[in-house]
């Protein structure tokens, strides 16, 4: 359907993606039109294609699928457009004088001979040129949008492309569309490759091969790798491009010379995206630089620990005392241990020792939930690493996936001791950013469980640091909470050691419910969440978390969330909802942020609606509840931990997903009153000991496994893990060896 009219006024316009709600005058009647309109202004004449739809809250609207801006057809239309505020500096009176002077020739004069405008009272020559520039810019923007959409680039992404290249966008598309994959977030290799195919770029083009290599390395980073073995990289890239591996290999040296990649090793070369190699190399150097020794007498430490035990009414065992002593005597201390082994008690002892010494101590953890747990356990404020580093919107260094941190080597943290918990979650990017902000002589204490799953992001930081052997490390393996009859803790350690777990349901906090098919498993899961577990663990239904091994399949995240939403938060007149592709978001839904967004603003309001705290940054893994869906402003508001309210435009909902069920990977660093773990058949490499151990240790009060006992037993017995390619351990070893050689040369020359 096609309608014609002029934009009377704009109700809502999103600058990022150009989504617009506006009132359009059509045959003397006001129509509400919604759609994507880059560079649109009030007063413009439009031809719109689309259809009328009935909105549940706002009535009939015209949903535009495409549009064309038509030049004003008469003097009235010209004056209306110019006087609407579309052109900065031109109001209704000045618009009337311009149109009266030039009549039907007005727009030609403004574009082609703007100096004639300066003859009109109130318009200087500079202003005339500025008006011309604005008119041309609006025209060029619309033309570029049409051009980019003809290549299948949707309007949201097209705006980003045009902002990046401006008028050069045409030459970029024609000569090397692969540039977009390197320069612009959201334009991946596949989009660039489709465009390149349309404009006739050769399949064996150097641009295509190099972009393909970087794409494969980027995909590897998404799977946790900081590099790929050269042969694997060549094979995967060649397979994707439909070329011979030798064609790909011929481009690697040029890429290395241009510092797009780094190749290390001769026998089994490792190929890095340049940024990840630099992160590993700098992380190794900064960690070694912090690894000072401090001389403190034994009797002083013993007396201090005795005071701590008396003051805190605790008794540290030999391993815990060793950990405290190590933290006192060394600039870097690594501590690892499973659940119930006294990590929290030891952290508290370290914290109190340094506070008694008058030192400034900062506590941090990778996620908001982990930081909250740390605060509650120690009685001192703990922050997320992002908040500790004072994250703000903006781009990081070239190649980094980080936002801009206010704290760095030029503005370091004002702390003499930093203790970071849940280190298994910290990837190489975040570790690199943290270390840049740690001043020399600052003690760094890193605590985690190396038997949990590694970080979602690239790298294997905690394990690599420990495996390097370069830093003092204490392993806690005595179970303290066994006496409290916590079968969660006991069974977690049994799983980790490969020992048999007793599944007789005589436990108070560890249960196994045998079910043979997916539908029965889901039925039991619903009953547990809705009827059984809330009262049993004293928690809200929405605080109970379903943890599943995979995203796809009969018991994958996607299917589980669809079913759990239907029964736990059903549709109703009191709950507004919004359909986003195949997903439905509904007020009251439990949701999760699935990517780091450093520009996203949040605020905390009082019960009267007054804002008393605000900031930026919502991060991968943050969980909350949908508080409001506003169809008029095309937005959705989520309440996260610490009552942070975040408003998402509808066009940005690809950053959210339902979170009644989440993957076990996504649960890292979190703790829930109760967890339900559905188990059915799946790939052997996925169903392993590491995974089930991580899932079980996420529960505070109750674990319920639902499914096949055979699968649980197989997971406990399967100690194989998919190899993660990370080189931090190697970078540390190289730098230690280099320093030893330099020291030897110095001694020989002395």
As annotated, the binding site for ATP includes 340-344
Check if the beta carbon of residue 644 is closer than 8 Å to that of residue 611. Answer: no
What are the percentages of helix, strand and coil residues in the chain, rounded to 5? 45, 25, 30
> Residue 532 corresponds to which tokens in the numbers above?
């059984």
Q: Which of 41, 9, 13 is nearest to 25 (CA)?
A: 9
Q: Which residues, listed in sequence order, are joined to residue 661 by a DSSP beta bridge?
A: 546
> Residue 101 corresponds to which tokens in the numbers above?
């002077």
The CA distance from 122 to 95, in Å, is 11
User: How many C-alpha atoms does 482 have within 13 Å on its Cβ side?
Assistant: 11
Check if the beta carbon of residue 665 is closer than 8 Å to that of residue 455. Answer: no
The CA distance from 451 to 1, in Å, is 60
The sheet with strand 510-514 has its strands ordered as: 510-514, 699-707, 672-679, 545-548, 661-663
Instruction: Phi first, then psi: give them for residue 196, nearest 5 degrees.
Output: -60, -40
H or E element at residue 381: none
How large is the C-alpha radius of gyration of the chain? 30
Q: Tell me the three state secondary structure of residue 698.
A: coil
Query: Alpha-carbon dihedral of residues 134, 139, 140, 145, nearest 10 degrees?
Result: 130
First to last CA, the chain: 89
Please list, residue by residue across 371-380, b when 16 or more beta carbons sit within 10 angstroms of its beta carbon and e when fewer do: bbbbeebbee
Sign of the C-alpha dihedral, residues 680, 685, 686, 688? positive
Between the alpha carbon of residue 91 and those of residues 95, 107, 380, the distances in Å are 6, 16, 58
Q: Which of 502, 478, 483, 351 is nearest to 415 (CA)?
A: 351
The CA distance from 678 to 491, in Å, is 17
CB atoms within 10 A of CB 172: 17
Long-range CB contact pairs, 160-167, < 8 A, 24+: 160/184, 160/185, 160/186, 160/187, 161/187, 162/38, 167/140
Please list, residue by residue across 400-430, b when 16 or more beta carbons sit within 10 angstroms of its beta carbon and e when fewer do: bbbbbbebbeeeebebbbbbbbbbbbbbbbb
Q: Write out the DSSP string of 30-47.
A: EEEEEEE-TT--TT-EEE
Check if the beta carbon of residue 705 is closer than 8 Å to that of residue 521. Answer: no
Q: Which of 536, 482, 485, 549 is nearest to 705 (CA)?
A: 549
Q: Tell me the three state secondary structure of residue 672.
A: strand
DSSP 330: B
Binding residues are 340-344
The CA distance from 463 to 5, in Å, is 64
Q: Which of 407, 462, 463 is nearest to 433 (CA)?
A: 407
**Going by C-beta distance under 8 Å and a sequence separation of 6 or more, which residues neighbour residue 451?**
338, 496, 690, 693
Helix (H) and strand (E) counts for the chain?
26, 30
* Axis crossing angle, helix 689-696 with helix 709-717, rounded to the nearest 10: 110
Check if the beta carbon of residue 399 is closer than 8 Å to that of residue 273. Answer: yes
């Amino acid at each position: 359907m096609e309608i014609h009219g002029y934009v009377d006024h704009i109700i809502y316009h999103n600058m990022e993606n150009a989504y617009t709600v506006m009132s359009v005058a059509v045959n003397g009647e006001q129509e509400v039109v919604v759609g994507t309109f880059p560079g649109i202004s009030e007063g413009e004449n439009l031809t719109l294609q689309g259809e009328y739809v009935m909105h549940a809250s706002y009535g009939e609207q015209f949903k535009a699928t495409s549009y064309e801006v038509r030049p004003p057809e008469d003097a009235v239309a010209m004056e209306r457009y110019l006087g609407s505020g579309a052109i900065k500096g031109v109001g209704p009176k000045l618009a009337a004088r311009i149109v009266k002077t030039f009549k039907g020739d007005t727009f030609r004069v403004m574009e082609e001979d703007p100096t004639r405008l300066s003859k009109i009272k109130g318009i200087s020559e500079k202003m005339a040129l500025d008006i011309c520039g604005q008119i041309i810019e609006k025209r060029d923007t619309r033309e570029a949008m049409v051009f980019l959409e003809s290549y299948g680039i949707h309007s949201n992404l097209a705006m980003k492309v045009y902002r990046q290249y401006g008028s050069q966008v045409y030459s970029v598309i024609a000569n090397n569309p692969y540039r977009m994959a390197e320069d612009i977030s959201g334009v991946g290799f596949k989009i660039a490759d489709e465009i390149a195919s349309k404009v006739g770029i050769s399949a064996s083009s150097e641009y295509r091969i190099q972009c393909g290599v970087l794409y494969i390395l980027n995909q590897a980073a998404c799977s946790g790798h900081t590099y790929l073995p050269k042969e694997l990289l060549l094979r995967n890239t060649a397979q994707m491009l439909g070329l011979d591996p030798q064609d790909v290999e011929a481009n690697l040296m040029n890429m290395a010379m241009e510092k797009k990649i780094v190749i290390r090793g001769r026998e089994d070369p490792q190929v890095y995206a340049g940024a990840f190699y630099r992160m590993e190399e700098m992380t190794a150097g900064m960690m070694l630089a912090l690894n000072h020794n401090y001389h403190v007498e034994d009797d002083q430490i013993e007396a201090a620990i005795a005071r701590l035990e008396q003051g805190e009414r605790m008794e540290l065992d030999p391993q815990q005392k060793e950990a405290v002593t190590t933290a006192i005597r060394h600039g870097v201390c690594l501590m690892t241990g499973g659940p119930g082994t006294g990590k929290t008690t030891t952290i508290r002892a370290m914290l109190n020792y340094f506070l008694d010494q008058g030192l400034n101590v900062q506590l941090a953890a990778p996620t908001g939930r982990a930081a909250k747990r740390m605060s509650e356990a120690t009685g001192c404020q703990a922050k997320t690493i992002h908040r500790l580093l004072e994250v703000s919107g903006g781009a990081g260094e070239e190649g980094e996936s980080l936002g801009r941190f206010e704290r760095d080597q030029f503005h370091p943290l004002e702390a003499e001791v930093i203790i970071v918990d849940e280190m298994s979650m910290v990837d190489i990017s975040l570790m690199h950013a943290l270390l840049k902000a740690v001043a020399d002589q600052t003690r760094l204490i890193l605590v985690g469980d190396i038997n949990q799953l590694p970080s979602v992001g690239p790298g294997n930081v905690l394990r690599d640091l420990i495996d390097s052997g370069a830093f003092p490390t204490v392993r806690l393996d005595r179970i303290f909470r066994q006496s409290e009859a916590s079968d969660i803790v006991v069974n977690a350690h049994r799983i980790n050691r490969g020992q048999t777990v007793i599944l007789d349901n005589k436990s108070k906090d560890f249960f196994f419910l045998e079910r043979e098919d997916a539908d029965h498993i889901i039925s039991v899961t619903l009953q547990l969440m809705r009827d059984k577990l809330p009262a049993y663990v004293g928690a809200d239904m929405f605080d109970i978390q379903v943890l599943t091994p995979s995203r796809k399949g009969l018991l994958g995240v996607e299917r589980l969330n669809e079913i759990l939403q239907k029964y736990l938060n059903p549709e109703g007149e009191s709950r507004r909802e919004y359909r986003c592709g195949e997903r439905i978001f509904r007020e009251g839904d439990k949701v999760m942020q699935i990517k780091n967004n450093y520009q996203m603003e949040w605020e905390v309001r009082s019960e009267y609606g007054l804002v008393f705290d605000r900031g930026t940054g919502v991060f991968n893994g943050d969980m909350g509840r949908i508080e409001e869906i506003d169809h008029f402003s095309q937005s959705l508001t989520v309440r996260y931990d610490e009552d942070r309210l975040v408003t998402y435009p509808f066009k940005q909902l690809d950053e959210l997903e339902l979170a009644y069920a989440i993957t076990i990977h996504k649960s890292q660093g979190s703790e829930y009153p109760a967890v339900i773990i559905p188990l059915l058949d799946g790939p052997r490499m996925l169903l392993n000991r590491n995974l089930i151990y991580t899932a079980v240790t996420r529960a505070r009060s109750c674990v319920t496994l639902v499914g096949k006992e055979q699968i649980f037993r197989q997971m406990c017995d399967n100690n194989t893990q998919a190899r993660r390619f990370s080189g931090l351990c190697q970078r540390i070893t190289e730098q230690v060896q280099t320093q030893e050689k330099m020291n030897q040369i110095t001694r020989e020359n002395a």
